[in-house]
Structure 1
Amino acid sequence: MNRLLLASLACALATPSAFASTQASGGPLQAADIFSLEMASDPQISPNGQFVVYQRRSNDIMTDRTRSALWIAPYDGGSNRPLITGAGDYSSPRWSPNSNQLVYIANEDGQSLLKTVWVDSGRSATLAHLPGGAGNLSWSPDGRWVAFTMFMSAPEPQVDIGMPAQPRGAEWADPALVDETTRYEFDGAGELPSGFTQIFVAPADGGAPRQLTQVSDGSISGVSWGPDSQALYYSFGGRQADGFDFREADIYAITLDASDPVQITDYPGGESSPRISPDGETLAYLSTPRVETSHADTDLKVVSLNGGEPRELLSDLDRGIDQAEWDERGRGLWVRFDDRGHTILGYAGLNGGLDRVRDDLGGTTFGRPYTSGVFTVSDNDRWAATLASATDLANVGVGTRRGLANRLTDVNADVLGLRDLAEVERFTWDSSADGQEIEGWIAYPPGFDPSQTYPMILEIHGGPHTAYGPQFSGEVQLYAAAGYVVLYTNPRGSTSYGETFANEIDKAYPGQDVDDLLSGIDALVARGFVDEERLFVTGGSGGGVLTAQLIGVTDRFAAAAVGKPVINWTSFTLAADIGPSIYRYWFGVTPWDAPEEYWRRSPLSLVGNVETPSLVFVGGEDRRTPVFEAEQYYNALQIRGIDSRLVRIPGAYHGIADSRPSRLLQKAGHVLAWFEQYDPANAED
């Protein structure tokens, strides 16, 4: 089956005509199916709870892009219909308070526009041109204003070096890039231009946007309105004075007259995602404590705007809160958090208690089975959320706090509904390190027969402080379709199991997480259907770190695929886009003060032990785990004479699989081709 899938991968990447030939019903997932996948994203329920508008994201085989349109569906079910479609990309739909109108962002012909549409007639109009793009889009409660954030460029730093005047018509090289801070690049964006994100407001009935803030250091996020429509609240952090520390931020308020911002919070750590209660008296926010551990869960806190000490809600819940929204009456907040690989929609009362409403949010990544998901709530406490499973990407679900839920969409019925997909089973075992229970999932190849034996792929998540779950994954499904049993896991260090579990690798990564993974393989092999001579391992980012670490301590794998790894902690800390701001949390000391510790934890220190044939792959524009990390490892393997191959995906940043559909196929295809080449079952006698 491996050769069949590899052939279909080659066809899918070769010609559009091959796409139609692989669309027959039945059989396992085909490579070309990736171009037909869709997901529902950013579901926005109207304030009156009658409709949901959502972003419908579709892969396009001709442009090799994921395009977005806006669709609308009644809360009670019935016909979905397109609301905004076209040759552009449409995102961030936001309802007016009267539920009659939406604003949204349109990217058309290289321009970013703020537009509005009247739902009953479908008539649309352009409100503003957005030369710096836009984010944090929201209506004022009185319906008069639309707020958003937009990047405003600033002059690039200039140094007088005595250059002569450039003659008219002369074509000189671009001037040097000059930086005086560590914030000069970022993954997904590349080189960062000079400037800062600012808050703007625009009249909802048309007119020029007006800039409210004058930020000249740091970054703005999490903008929301107060109920009186006179002030906007936001989180402000990442200042140079704080060493660009991503865990240090405070909440501010600015009024529509653009007077000086007022600082609302001033606590150690980060305060973010401010939300003001309907009566205007209480601030709810997410709080990240100022601790020197590699991971810190985010707490939900409330504080009176009239003064007093903050109070933590859900203090007995050992999970990080990712989203919180007030209910209509201000008696509690809807919340989203991850728990043991599941994303939960819950309700937290101000006086205590937690109702778990749904445990199946997710499905907003095409490539790997990470936890994910979002929700919104109406004025009458109805909700809309992205619901997903191990066999489908996100669809729109709706419901109430205690009532039955309803799924409004089934966007992949025409593709996944016709395929024999891998079944996914929860799997737990006791770690050989200390007996602690570790959780993972097994994806079985279609047509699995437990009386037979199969090759196995261990697929390791990145982060390392993230989590996998029973979510659809294009990559996992393609591996299973090629005939592999796939084991993907949440070793210690993963989120969604409590702060203690996540920090068991604090200042010790990679460490006992390696034992968790190896004992997981042992537990799976013991079930009798995995061929111990045909074990393979791959992972990306933090998973690439652990893949390289594993093959440095064991030779039990037939082949490995090391994805976008950190291979040398010193070079990573001093050159990655986020390296200079996180060394204090992952090591607690600089590389020059403890070079031996940085080297001890670097997988490169173990390369002398490696005997496993190893593919090394990375995005050609990766700024998170820079390309030279992969190159260091590959060249070391080459010097040692280990069978190895370096694959660089041109134009791709760190998130290879979710950037363009063909890149997901290139990544999976190269991994499968390498494993096929070194599968002992294919060895010549």
Structure 2
Amino acid sequence: MKTKFGSAALLAAIAAFAAAAFAPAAEAQTLRLSLDHYMDMESVSDPQISPDGSRIVYTLGWVDKLNDRRESSLRIMNADGSRKRALLEGGGARWSPDGTRILFTAAGEPSGSQIFVRWMDDEGATSQITRLENGPSSPRWSPDGNWIAFTSRVDDRADFEGVDLPSRPDGATWTEGPKIVERAGYKRDRQGYVDTGWTHVFVVPATGGTARQLTDGDWNHGGIAWSPDGTEIYFTSYRAPDWDRPSNWQESEIYAVSVTSGEIRRLTNRRGADSGPAPSPDGRLIAYTAEDEHRDTYRNSRIYVMNRDGSGSRLISGDYDRQSGGFQWAADGSGLYFNVSREGYRQLHFVAVDGGVAQLTEGMHLFSLSSFAENGTAVGTISTDHEPGDIYRFSLSNPEDATRLTEVNADILHGVTLGEVEEVWYESTDGFQIQGWIVKPPDFDPNREYPLMLAIHGGPHGMYNGGFNFAFQEHASNDYVVLYTNPRGSTGYGTEFANAINHDYPGADFPDLMGGVDEMLRRGYVDGDNLFVYGCSGGGILTSYIVGNTDRFRAASANCPIVNWMSAMGTSDAIGYLRTFEEPFWVDEEEWMDRSSIFYVENVTTPTMLMTGEMDLRTPMGQTEEFYQALHYEGVPTVMVRFQGEWHGTSRRPSNFLRTQLYLRKWFEQWGTHRGAITTEDGAGGGS
């Protein structure tokens, strides 16, 4: 199937596909999306095309229902989409420069993730390349295919480490010694306590052997890339004695390390962040992103190039002001391709070495370039509001003409009627234009009044998009209208828009969210007596702020929130919170109190549920407990849902995603006056 992106034909093609794939039979009862479908859905990602353009390796993901986790493995197909087949267990596949092998990571000896290499001939011999105590990250082939570079954590001990205890009696069992913490950042969500150890750059022969450490010192190193001649590896770090001082939180520089001697050269020298080195095919230039030191909460980075020795740095992206990433040089060295998420969608762009950014695709989709072959044949993924995402092949010379290669969820969604997704723009205060989307129930009746869910994204520097969203579609299938918006602070709309909440979050974005609700009420199909609001992380912060500043919602769910910035600073892994305030709270507490929802709790009348993972280190459980206890004290109906096996968020485990959906509706139905949710038992729902 071919679609012409950026034209009316695109919308017609999507509509035709959706009608064919999702429309129920005329005689059949409407089949709606259910949580059963979620457990059967699959995903495809990271397609990598071979250098000669003949084969594509990609990752297929699914839900392991028995072990309550998400699994993935590598698959392979011909470039025309034929001969799809399982390849091996693992992920992160990358073709060798000559196309004869792939490297990938998988569980190995002695434990944890290791690097493997598989020959891509008929024999398919596979070898384990590394045997690391700590797993590898970002493995990269050398240009000649003889080496693999990667980063890995090297353990060490705290300086303030041991003390000499009196002799232990024979046979005595004593408590294990304490953990010594010395660094400002000593824990990380989804990892736990990470005070000791440093991430360094290594190389290992592609045939296997002992990995050789190239960098040293008490610093972390990442973002690696080989020089085209294979003599150096570029990386990002900040190798300074005071690297961990709060005043240096923005600092990073680009360095080069010699593969043979280990000599390290510093290539950039800026007060601010230089990162993501990407050398040109001929090795003369290095592209990178940079931003100057600032006091804002958000700025989009700009794109630069410099000579190989670090001289001649110059800006090539001009005044282009959007979030960008995934840079890949054109084969002729004329510039770089990259993906941009902007105004709710994702498009392919090109920045020329001579200066200037050009957008290469357009349309209401999430278009992502993954890799391309020597002949310019490229592969990536595309998702739309009714299509969860599949792999497409296209030419870099005409990326809008894309051929679909997979349809991994066509069987699961066959016959399912999804809710219509409508894009909406409305004006808020201070002249800001706000973008959002409405998901309507299947069989939507504009003459009926529906309960409304307002969903708020996290970050706060994040962005909702117009792609397929199972959670919102499943709520809509239970007869809710779902509104999700990108209030000021969201990315994708430029630095000024994202930074409009600087030293005023939450609060500055409050009118944007309320304006969205007002817009929905003007449409006439929303029940003003059944308005509900929820969000997680940044969305949880805003939800807790909303219920302290308005009583217009029937019920709310503040998930994984921060409600007290002062206590959060000392307990969250995100120690950068401090920089979002003018002064530390021990110098001036007024701003901290003004922006902390706990100090508005006496105004709350809205029944408010709280849902947080018990292992959360980003918005720790103590924040939820503070608000829960305060609500109880004020006599506000509340319940605290403590998710087991969850770090930040409530949906890492598939079963917890299901619980999140169900507990939200259970709480809203308990306090709303709308009728209960549609279920399979009452005949209007349906499983797969």
Alignment match of 1:38 (pick from 42, 53, 56):
42
Q: How far apart are 1:614 and its partner, in Å?
A: 0.5
Q: Within the alignment, does 1:624 sit opposite 2:626 as a pair?
A: no
Unpaired runs of 5+ residues, structure 1, are 1-23, 364-371
Q: Within the alignment, does 1:285 sit opposite 2:288 as a pair?
A: yes
Distance 2:158 2:413 in 1: 49
Q: How far apart are 1:247 and its partner, in Å?
A: 2.1
Q: Within the alignment, does 1:251 sit opposite 2:254 as a pair?
A: yes
Percent identity, please. 35
Q: Within the alignment, does 1:393 sit opposite 2:393 as a pair?
A: no
Q: How far apart are 1:341 and its partner, in Å?
A: 1.3
Q: How far apart are 1:386 and its partner, in Å?
A: 2.3
Match of 1:408 in 2: 405
Q: Which amino acid aligns with 2:458?
A: G
Match of 1:563 in 2: 559
**Is the deviation greater in 395-404 or in 62-71?**
395-404
**Is the deviation greater in 535-544 or in 263-272?**
263-272
Match of 1:379 in 2: 374
Give secondary structure in 1 for the equivalent of 2:631: helix
Q: CA offsets, 1:612-642, max 9 Å, x none?
A: 0000111111111111111111110011110
Q: Which amino acid aligns with 1:381?
A: G
Would the aligned equivalents of 2:560 and 2:649 in 1 still touch at CA under 8 Å?
no
**Is the deviation greater in 199-208 or in 164-173?**
164-173
Match of 2:497 in 1: 501
Q: CA offsets, 1:376-419, max 9 Å, x none?
A: 23333332222212223332222122322112111111212342
Give secondary structure in 1 for the equivalent of 2:496: helix
Give secondary structure in 1 for the equivalent of 2:129: strand
- For 1:411-422, list aligned pairs within 5 A: 411-422=408-419
- For 1:47-86, list aligned pairs within 5 A: 47-85=51-89
- Seen in structure 2, the aligned counterparts of structure 1 residues 113 and 176 have a Cα distance that, compared at 3 Å, is same
Distance 1:495 1:254 in 2: 34
Tell me the TM-score normalized by structure 2. 0.90
Distance 2:133 2:369 in 1: 28
Q: Which amino acid aligns with 2:141?
A: W
Distance 1:399 1:444 in 2: 33
Would the aligned equivalents of 2:320 and 2:357 in 1 still touch at CA under 8 Å?
no
**Is the deviation greater in 493-502 or in 381-390?**
381-390
Match of 1:587 in 2: 581
Q: How far apart are 1:237 and its partner, in Å?
A: 3.4
Distance 1:501 1:654 in 2: 26
Alignment match of 1:660 (pick from 653, 658, 674):
653
Q: CA offsets, 1:572-612, max 9 Å, x none?
A: 22221112x3412x113211111111001111111110000
Q: Which amino acid aligns with 1:123?
A: A
Match of 1:368 in 2: none
Q: Which amino acid aligns with 2:323?
A: G
Q: Within the alignment, does 1:535 sit opposite 2:531 as a pair?
A: yes
Would the aligned equivalents of 1:41 and 1:55 in 2 still touch at CA under 8 Å?
yes
Q: CA offsets, 1:317-340, max 9 Å, x none?
A: 221222211111111100112110
Q: Which amino acid aligns with 2:501?
A: I
Would the aligned equivalents of 1:93 and 1:102 in 2 still touch at CA under 8 Å?
yes
Would the aligned equivalents of 2:337 and 2:350 in 1 still touch at CA under 8 Å?
yes
Q: CA offsets, 1:186-226, max 9 Å, x none?
A: 01101115111111111112222211111312x21210100
Q: Which amino acid aligns with 1:641?
A: G
Distance 2:315 2:375 in 1: 26
Match of 2:425 in 1: 428
Distance 1:214 1:258 in 2: 13
Give secondary structure in 2 for the equivalent of 1:417: coil
Q: How far apart are 1:681 and its partner, in Å?
A: 2.8
Give secondary structure in 1 for the equivalent of 2:570: helix
Would the aligned equivalents of 2:463 and 2:486 in 1 still touch at CA under 8 Å?
yes
Q: How far apart are 1:25 and its partner, in Å?
A: 10
Distance 1:25 1:171 in 2: 67
Q: Within the alignment, does 1:335 sit opposite 2:351 as a pair?
A: no
Q: CA offsets, 1:405-452, max 9 Å, x none?
A: 112111111212342222211011111x23421100001112211111
Distance 2:556 2:603 in 1: 14
Alignment match of 1:346 (pick from 346, 349, 355):
349
Q: Which amino acid aligns with 2:272?
A: G
Distance 1:92 1:653 in 2: 24
Distance 1:554 1:51 in 2: 57
Distance 1:28 1:314 in 2: 46
**Is the deviation greater in 621-630 or in 43-52?**
43-52
- Seen in structure 2, the aligned counterparts of structure 1 residues 428 and 254 have a Cα distance that, compared at 3 Å, is same
Q: How far apart are 1:163 and its partner, in Å?
A: 2.4
Distance 2:500 2:158 in 1: 43
Distance 1:381 1:522 in 2: 48
Would the aligned equivalents of 2:298 and 2:461 in 1 still touch at CA under 8 Å?
yes
Distance 1:105 1:265 in 2: 32
Would the aligned equivalents of 1:373 and 1:387 in 2 still touch at CA under 8 Å?
yes
Distance 2:347 2:308 in 1: 29
Distance 1:413 1:238 in 2: 50
Q: Within the alignment, does 1:97 sit opposite 2:97 as a pair?
A: yes
Q: How far apart are 1:50 and its partner, in Å?
A: 2.4
Distance 2:35 2:129 in 1: 41
Would the aligned equivalents of 1:344 and 1:361 in 2 still touch at CA under 8 Å?
no
- Seen in structure 2, the aligned counterparts of structure 1 residues 162 and 108 have a Cα distance that, compared at 3 Å, is closer
* RMSD between aligned residues: 2.1
Distance 2:92 2:115 in 1: 10
Give secondary structure in 1 for the equivalent of 2:221: strand
Match of 2:599 in 1: 605
Q: How far apart are 1:246 and its partner, in Å?
A: 4.4
Would the aligned equivalents of 1:302 and 1:310 in 2 still touch at CA under 8 Å?
yes
- Seen in structure 2, the aligned counterparts of structure 1 residues 95 and 168 have a Cα distance that, compared at 3 Å, is farther
Would the aligned equivalents of 1:462 and 1:544 in 2 still touch at CA under 8 Å?
yes
Match of 1:171 in 2: 173
Q: CA offsets, 1:284-322, max 9 Å, x none?
A: 001133111000111111112245442222223221222
- For 1:138-537, list aligned pairs within 5 A: 138-157=140-159, 159-167=161-169, 169-192=171-194, 194-217=196-219, 219-237=220-238, 241-242=242-243, 243=245, 245-306=248-309, 308-359=311-362, 375-403=370-398, 404-431=401-428, 433-537=429-533
**Is the deviation greater in 484-493 or in 343-352?**
343-352
Q: How far apart are 1:261 and its partner, in Å?
A: 1.2
- Seen in structure 2, the aligned counterparts of structure 1 residues 204 and 383 have a Cα distance that, compared at 3 Å, is same
- Seen in structure 2, the aligned counterparts of structure 1 residues 224 and 307 have a Cα distance that, compared at 3 Å, is closer
Q: Which amino acid aligns with 2:263?
A: D
Would the aligned equivalents of 1:38 and 1:411 in 2 still touch at CA under 8 Å?
yes
Match of 2:664 in 1: 671
Give secondary structure in 2 for the equivalent of 1:34: helix
Would the aligned equivalents of 1:42 and 1:374 in 2 still touch at CA under 8 Å?
no
Would the aligned equivalents of 1:397 and 1:406 in 2 still touch at CA under 8 Å?
yes
Would the aligned equivalents of 1:157 and 1:179 in 2 still touch at CA under 8 Å?
no
Q: How far apart are 1:131 and its partner, in Å?
A: 2.2
- Seen in structure 2, the aligned counterparts of structure 1 residues 545 and 441 have a Cα distance that, compared at 3 Å, is same
- Seen in structure 2, the aligned counterparts of structure 1 residues 26 and 60 have a Cα distance that, compared at 3 Å, is farther
Distance 2:261 2:622 in 1: 46
**Is the deviation greater in 374-383 or in 491-500?**
374-383
Q: Which amino acid aligns with 2:392?
A: G
- Seen in structure 2, the aligned counterparts of structure 1 residues 652 and 140 have a Cα distance that, compared at 3 Å, is same
Would the aligned equivalents of 2:338 and 2:369 in 1 still touch at CA under 8 Å?
no
Distance 1:646 1:554 in 2: 21
Alignment match of 2:125 (pick from 111, 123, 126):
123
Distance 2:364 2:673 in 1: 40
Q: How far apart are 1:29 and its partner, in Å?
A: 1.6
Distance 2:96 2:364 in 1: 26
